[in-house]
Amino acid sequence: VPGQNLAARTVVSADAGLVVEPTDTAGFSAAVRRLVTDAELRQRMGENGRSYAEETFDIQAIADRFEPIIRGER
């Protein structure tokens, strides 16, 4: 996604992933290589992403909204 996109800014600020502009194929390839070769980076970003989600989202409230949809009740 574009770097100015809210999702991209969130990923960067949470240190939960890498962001590459949609048309930057070389940057995308470099980001993939970096993630493939750096287990510590993957671990840190994964932990940061989970921490962000746990601190930001009320999983019970979200589940309560989606369960009826999944069961086909809406």
Show the DSSP H helices in the chain as ranges. Answer: 6-13, 25-37, 39-56, 59-70
pTM for this prediction: 0.79
In this model, does residue 74 exceed pLDDT 90?
Answer: no
What's the angle, vertex CA 18, arms to CA 47 and CA 53, rounded to 5?
A: 35
In this prediction, residue 35 carries a pLDDT of 97
- Residues near 3 by Cβ (< 8 Å), separated by ≥ 6? 9, 12, 19, 21
Residues in the chain: 74
6-62: per-residue pLDDT in tens?
999 999 999 999 999 999 999 999 999 999 999 999 999 999 999 999 999 999 999
**Which pLDDT value is given to residue 1?**
86
